[in-house]
């Protein structure tokens, strides 16, 4: 008798995520199991319930890399260069996260089970606002309301990912880069410090 195939938790989660994103939130566990060469009871034995498997496979990471980069604070490079780097990281994160969160909601799983507001959306908002505040103190930007600006930045990047998911369109890497460049340019101009005209001595 052949021995059962040995698979890791990471393999199960990766396959579950791929099957959900391809077939929808209601995909049968049999489809996931077949992709791994195991049985659906084997999956449930590992994770307990379908809900737990879905949450582990699809919930956003607690510490996405873009937040850590933002929390490191601004440096001495031009503002637009820094914004472009941050926006590219954020955009890539939301491109992956939005379809996964949408699938969890479609599954009927309460958001409090997979989304910690204080370590998720609220932390993201605080991280951007804190970066803007530090940049303002360094004379890099002028931001009367860092939190409002942070909300606008999040909205601009999340909405693009949300639109792509809803209308089932895949933006090319070139299109994404052009969008980020335009967005970074827009915010760099809007946040540029006010330069007071110097008085001419007669």
Same domain? 78 vs 169:
yes
Same domain? 91 vs 160:
yes
- Domains identified in the chain, total number: 2
Same domain? 167 vs 146:
yes
CA pair distance 10, 171, nearest whole angstrom: 28
Domain that holds residue 82: 65-191
Per the domain annotation, does 2 fall within a domain? no
Same domain? 144 vs 167:
yes
Predicted pLDDT of residue 200: 55
Same domain? 82 vs 31:
no
Same domain? 112 vs 182:
yes
CA pair distance 66, 89, nearest whole angstrom: 5
Tell me which of 20, 40, 58 is where a domain ends.
58
Residue 167 is classified by DSSP as: T
Q: Is 44 left (phi over 0), alpha (psi -120 to 50) or beta?
A: alpha
Per the domain annotation, does 36 fall within a domain? yes
CA pair distance 151, 169, nearest whole angstrom: 25
List per-residue pLDDT tens for the chain, 202 residues long.
344 458 899 999 999 999 999 999 999 999 999 999 999 999 999 999 999 999 999 998 888 899 999 999 999 999 999 999 999 999 999 999 999 999 999 999 998 888 876 677 889 999 999 999 999 999 999 988 999 999 999 999 999 999 999 988 888 999 999 999 999 999 999 999 876 655 555 4
CATH of the domain at 31: 1.10.10.60
Predicted pLDDT of residue 193: 87
Predicted pLDDT of residue 168: 86
pLDDT digits (tens, 9 = 90+) for 99-151: 999 999 999 999 888 887 667 788 999 999 999 999 999 999 998 899 999 99
Same domain? 92 vs 168:
yes
Same domain? 51 vs 71:
no
Same domain? 74 vs 53:
no
Per the domain annotation, does 17 fall within a domain? yes
> Would you mind telling me the total number of residues written for the chain in this entry?
202
Per the domain annotation, does 109 fall within a domain? yes
Same domain? 156 vs 83:
yes
Whether residue 135 contacts residue 141, with contact meaning beta carbons closer than 8 Å, is answered with yes
Tell me which of 58, 77, 95 is where a domain ends.
58
Predicted pLDDT of residue 53: 95
Same domain? 69 vs 139:
yes
Per the domain annotation, does 35 fall within a domain? yes
What pTM was computed for the model? 0.86
Per the domain annotation, does 197 fall within a domain? no
Same domain? 93 vs 138:
yes
Per the domain annotation, does 202 fall within a domain? no
């Amino acid at each position: 008798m052949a021995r059962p195939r040995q698979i890791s938790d990471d393999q199960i989660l990766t396959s579950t995520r791929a099957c959900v994103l391809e077939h929808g939130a209601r995909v049968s566990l049999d489809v996931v199991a077949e992709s791994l060469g195991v049985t659906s009871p084997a999956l449930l034995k590992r994770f307990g319930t379908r809900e737990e498997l879905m949450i582990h496979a699809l919930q956003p990471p607690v510490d996405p890399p873009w937040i850590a980069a933002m929390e490191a604070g601004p440096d001495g490079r031009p503002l637009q260069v820094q914004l472009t780097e941050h926006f590219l990281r954020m955009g890539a994160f939301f491109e992956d996260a939005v379809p996964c969160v949408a699938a969890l909601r479609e599954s009927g799983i309460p958001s409090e089970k997979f989304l910690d507001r204080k370590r998720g959306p609220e932390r993201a908002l605080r991280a951007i606002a804190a970066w803007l505040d530090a940049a303002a103190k360094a004379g890099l930007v002028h931001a009367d309301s860092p939190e409002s600006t942070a909300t606008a930045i999040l909205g601009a990047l999340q909405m693009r990912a949300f639109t792509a998911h809803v209308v089932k369109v895949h933006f090319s890497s070139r299109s994404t880069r052009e969008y980020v460049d335009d967005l970074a340019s827009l915010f760099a101009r809007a946040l540029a410090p006010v330069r007071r005209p110097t008085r001419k001595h007669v």
